[in-house]
Each structure stands twice: as C-alpha cells, then as structure tokens.
Chains A and B, each alone.
Chain A
C-alpha cells in the first residue's frame, strides 16, 4: 500500500515538473497578453502578421523573420521588411487581407491599432497577441513576450541585456555631470508639436540628462513661438519628419529667432525621427545620440 502511494506521489511530482512554466511556454496554450487579454497562442507560429512597423522590426531583430507572413504599410526597417505583403496601415488594418493570408498569430499594438479589428479577428478564431510598450522597460517586456511566442527566448534575453547595458552606460555618463539643460523636442511644424510626459521622447530626454521643456499631462501639446520664447530652451532637437520639410528649412525656421539661447549658441540639432518614435530597441540608439548632443556642450548644428 505504501509503495503504491509512493509511486503515485512520484508520478504526480514528475508530472508537475513537466507542467511548470520553463518546460511549457513553447507549447500552445492560453496566455495573457500585454493588454490583459486571454489569447490561445499556437505552439509554433509559422504565419505571423504584425500590425505595426515596430513589431515587424522586433521580429527581425529576434532573427525570426521567416515566420512573418505579412505586415502593415510603413514597415520599412530593416529594408527587407519592405518585401512583405501589406495588410493595410496600422490605423486601418484591412480585415479581409489579414484573413486571406491565413495567419496563425497576429501581433498588435495597443497604442494605434483599432480595438474593433482585434476583436473581430479574435471572434473569428484568429489569435491576436497585443503588446503595450509605453516605456523602455515596456519595450524590453514586449521583446521578451514576442521572443517567447516565437521560440527566440535566448535572442530576446540577449537583446534586452544589451539594451540594459547601454542604458546604464548613459546613466553613468549623466550621473557624472551636474547640469540638466532645458531641451525642446520638435515633432511637427505648423502647428508646432512637442512631446509631453507620457511619451518615449520624454523618457529619452530625461535619461540622457536633459529636462523636457514640454513636460506635462498632454501627450503631444501644441506650441506657438510666444510660448517657446518664454521657455527659452537651451537645446532644440528637431525630428526629421517635422512637417515634411528639408533639414535646411527646419533649421531656418528656428534661426529667425536669434533671441533664443539655442539659436545664439547654435544648439539646434536635426535627428532621425525613427530613432525616437518607434517602440523598438533602436530607441536606445536615439538615447545615446541624444546623450551625446546634450553632454557635448557647444556643438555645431545639424548633427545627424
């Protein structure tokens, strides 16, 4: 009797080991995604559709691009992503094109993708995993989540570790200095738009050792020249996508105001927009670039 009980208990013990997370994540099952939804994900997704450019980028970074079956327009990094079939834009994904590609897993972004498309696909039995990266640590979580879904846990861990290392390096640089210059980040022109507190840009400016002039509750507040003159930022960063203008036009717009400290000291910089608004590990490139600008003191305008 006791031997039988012992055998039964051992069997239970072995079975419970087999069902613990580290042995079982790779198989199909019900998981909770970044938006708190319950999703039944396939064990080995082979036809993945991404609903945003940053998600496609993350899949390529994880080295799992062979699983991709389609993506939205504007997925242009890396350049190979341009060859993927398109399923509409990320604000208007085309339901029919998505269903026609027979995906076994869709990756969506809570910020931007319309909720009703996700709900319609889920109602049709297509697995949609929503990620919600709101900060650098959110991006690291999303990379790990996607890595788990696509059997790229090791690569995901490497990416996250590399990101952490570089962020910490910047933090050490910043800690060594005492000044925190006022930085104004221009996203768009006519109307002039900057980034408030709940944005990646704010986080990058703060980590890079600056103070965001547009910090506040509105995510993308509008500014006019009067407000900017009153703020008088020390450094001005201009996104290359602002209003579709050329670099010279953007800089010329600011140089009309020699009263501004940033103009007098020639601290106007145009930066690559993609390094600052896409929720991917490339944001760390943006962070390093920004840190370089802020901490370099006097630097000539137009650093790319």
Chain B
C-alpha cells in the first residue's frame, strides 16, 4: 500500500486523471443514450457534435441533449459524488463499515419534510426541496442534542450518535407510513417516487443550489489527513496532534449539510454511500487523500451509469433510480464482503 516509488502527488494526479476520463466517458454515454432512442456510434458522434459545434445539426436532438439529458447527468454526478463522499466520511468518523450518509437521520427527516411538502401541494422546487431540507436538518439537530444530552464528554460520541440516528430513522419511518396511509392516491404516487429517488424532476434553475455542495468537497479534502488519523482511534489521533472534537464537528456539519442539500433535490437514493467507499478502499487502500477524490469521481460516474440504466432499461417508462442502485449495489456489497473474508 505505501508505494515509495511514486509520490503521493503523482498517484493523486494519475488517479484523478483516470477517474475524470471515466466520468467523461460515462457522461458522454448518458448524453447519447436515452428513452427516445437507442445507442450506436453514430449517436455518440452526433452527441459530440451537438455538444461542441455552435450550430447544432438538429434542433430537437440538441434540445434533448442539452435540456433534457444534461441536467440529469449533472444531477446524477453531483448526487453520486456527494453520497459516496458522505459515506466515506461517516465510515471514518464513526469507525463503522456499515455507516452510510443517511445513518444519522437524514433519510427519515428529509422524507417526512418532502412528504409534508407534497401533501401541501407545493411545487418540487423550491417548495418540496425546502421542506425536505428543513426536515432533515431538524432531525439531525435532534440527534445531536440527544447525543449531547446523553454523553457528558463530547456530543460526537459515536455510539450515541449511531444509536440515536438509527432510532430517529425508525421513528421517522413510522411517521412516513402514517402520512402515506392518509394520503390520496395521486399523492401516494408522488411520495413513492420521491422515496425511491427520482431524478426526472430536476431542472436547470436548481443548479446553483445543487452546486453549493462543491465547497463542501473541498473542505473535506483539506481534512483528509485528520480523517486518516481519526481511523486510529480518538486517543491516538489526539496524541498525534489532531484536535479531535473540532475536526469531528466540522466534518459532521459539512457532510450532513451537503447530503441534506442533495437528498432534498433527488429523493432517497440508497447503497451509493455504502458501496462506493468500500470498493475504492479495496482498490486503493485506506489513505483518505486518495479515497476522497476517488469517491467523488467514482461515485459520480457510478450514479451517471445507474441513472442511464434507470432511464433506458424499462420499456414502459423510466424507473426510479434508487431501484437501480439497490439492485446493483446490494449484490456488489455482498460480493465485496465475500471477497474480504478470504
């Protein structure tokens, strides 16, 4: 794992270059393929022309690439990157391989907020997005207060956080089922699609809000070293000079904020935050200076491909992308688990 032949910078640049190339290829494939037409080399070259030539060949094809598919590809990339990075940070922070970005109550809180928004008849943006965000932040604050109240020493005692988060999610699950039971049929449709992750609602005007997560990526990358040290345990990290409490709080705040922003726009997409960090940890080792950019770029590419499958696979109309990530992610995780035992 510690390769003294190539410096860290070289390895980092090579990794980023490779993953960026993969992401670009995935993006191109996702822009050239959709529910209205199949894929072929001609389609790909046509898409490249539409993207890079000033006067597009065919205005309908250009509209499909730029206004229908491009926003989705961007959303998929950002959502995948955020969820994968969120999973990585929580797995390190909580030192638990099962940690994923929703574990502290983000899923339950945002779902309740979104359902309330849908039941009130609000528009998807900014209405439902706003209520989902408020819901998720509320539950997070409650979990933190609970953890702070229980543990005298530090609000970020991981066991209390984990347990509090899991219990809040369970309680929110019950509230969600109640809300669904009193909804009218048409609303139940919208609610279910939100709960399964739905990229079809996203439109270009939401982009500025979505891109607010990019500074969070940078903040977390700058904390890669402390993250590495946290893996050794609180006491060890502290003795090596890490300000454990400050770092933990900052990481927690940044990660939960970016996950909430993303979930409030895309709905609940699962298994990305759980599986992608494990894949890259198997390939690259535990150094977060490599894992963070890998999760961002790898998670983004994975999500773009999952969204492509969700759009093109079913003949009767696209399925929610959360179904694809679960159908692909769960077997993938089981496979990783099986391999790691050898």
Within residues 85 to 138 of chain A, which ones have a CB less than 8 A from any CB in chain B? 86, 88-89, 91-92, 94-97, 99-102, 112, 114-116, 119-120, 123-124
CB distance A73 to B317 under 8 Å?
yes
Q: Is B141 an interface residue (CB 8 A)?
A: no
Given known A-B contacts A92-B193, A124-B63, A73 and B316 have beta carbons under 8 A apart: yes
Q: A116-B123, A116-B201, A219-B184 are in contact. List 12 more A-B contacts (CB 8 A).
A: A86-B317, A88-B317, A89-B316, A94-B36, A95-B68, A100-B36, A100-B64, A112-B186, A114-B190, A114-B201, A123-B203, A124-B63
Contacts of B318 in A (CB 8 A): 88, 92, 94
Q: Can you name 8 A-B residue pairings with CB atoms under 8 Å? A: A91-B186, A92-B200, A92-B317, A100-B36, A100-B37, A101-B36, A114-B201, A116-B203
How many angstroms between the C-alpha atoms of A15 and B134 in the bound complex?
Answer: 58
Task: Scan A164-194; emit 1 where CB is below 8 A from any B CB, else 0.
Answer: 0000000000000000000000000000000
Q: Is B1 an interface residue (CB 8 A)?
A: no
Residue of A101, A112, A120, A123 ringed by the most chain B CB atoms within 10 A: A120
Query: Whole-angstrom distance from the CB of A198 to the nearest CB of chain B?
Result: 12
Q: Is B124 an interface residue (CB 8 A)?
A: yes
- Count contacts on B: residues with CB < 8 A to the other chain: 26
CB distance A99 to B185 under 8 Å?
no
Closest to A115 in B: B123
Q: Is B189 an interface residue (CB 8 A)?
A: yes
CB distance B64 to A120 under 8 Å?
no
Q: Which of A95, A101, A220 contacts B185 (CB 8 A)?
A: A220
Q: Which of B35, B184, B189 contacts A91 (CB 8 A)?
A: B189
CB distance B124 to A116 under 8 Å?
yes
Q: Which of A89, A100, A114, A124 contacts B317 (CB 8 A)?
A: A89
Query: Whole-angstrom distance from the CB of A106 to the nearest CB of chain B?
Result: 14
CB distance B63 to A99 under 8 Å?
yes
How many angstroms between the C-alpha atoms of A97 and B35 in the bound complex?
Answer: 6
Contacts of A124 in B (CB 8 A): 63, 67
Closest to B182 in A: A222
Q: Enumerate chain A interface residues (CB-CB to B < 8 A).
A: 73, 86, 88-89, 91-92, 94-97, 99-102, 112, 114-116, 119-120, 123-124, 219-220
Within residues 160 to 199 of chain B, which ones have a CB less than 8 A from any CB in chain A? 184-186, 189-190, 193
Query: Whole-angstrom distance from the CB of A200 to the nearest CB of chain B?
Result: 15
Query: Whole-angstrom distance from the CB of B310 to the nearest CB of chain A?
Result: 12
Q: Is B41 an interface residue (CB 8 A)?
A: no
How many angstroms between the C-alpha atoms of A88 and B34 in the bound complex?
Answer: 13
Closest to A100 in B: B36
Given known A-B contacts A73-B317, A99-B68, A94 and B63 have beta carbons under 8 A apart: no
Q: Is B42 an interface residue (CB 8 A)?
A: no
How many angstroms between the C-alpha atoms of A116 and B34 in the bound complex?
Answer: 20
Given known A-B contacts A89-B317, A92-B317, A99 and B203 have beta carbons under 8 A apart: no
How many angstroms between the C-alpha atoms of A101 and B61 in the bound complex?
Answer: 10
Contacts of A116 in B (CB 8 A): 123-125, 201, 203
CB distance B316 to A97 under 8 Å?
no
CB distance B317 to A102 under 8 Å?
no
Given known A-B contacts A99-B36, A99-B60, A99-B64, A94 and B186 have beta carbons under 8 A apart: no
Closest to A218 in B: B184
Contacts of A86 in B (CB 8 A): 316-317
Query: Whole-angstrom distance from the CB of A168 to the nearest CB of chain B?
Result: 33
Within residues 103 to 146 of chain B, which ones have a CB less than 8 A from any CB in chain A? 123-125
CB distance B184 to A220 under 8 Å?
yes
Query: Whole-angstrom distance from the CB of B213 to the nearest CB of chain A?
Result: 22
How many angstroms between the C-alpha atoms of A86 and B35 in the bound complex?
Answer: 11
Query: Whole-angstrom distance from the CB of B107 to the nearest CB of chain A?
Result: 23
How many angstroms between the C-alpha atoms of A73 and B316 in the bound complex?
Answer: 8
How many angstroms between the C-alpha atoms of A128 and B34 in the bound complex?
Answer: 23
CB distance A96 to B35 under 8 Å?
yes
Contacts of A120 in B (CB 8 A): 67, 203
Query: Whole-angstrom distance from the CB of B59 to the nearest CB of chain A?
Result: 9
CB distance A95 to B63 under 8 Å?
no
Query: Whole-angstrom distance from the CB of A144 to the nearest CB of chain B?
Result: 26
CB distance B35 to A94 under 8 Å?
yes
CB distance A96 to B34 under 8 Å?
yes
Q: Is B69 an interface residue (CB 8 A)?
A: yes
How many angstroms between the C-alpha atoms of A176 and B109 in the bound complex?
Answer: 59
Query: Whole-angstrom distance from the CB of A113 to the nearest CB of chain B?
Result: 11
Contacts of B123 in A (CB 8 A): 115-116
How many angstroms between the C-alpha atoms of A46 and B313 in the bound complex?
Answer: 31
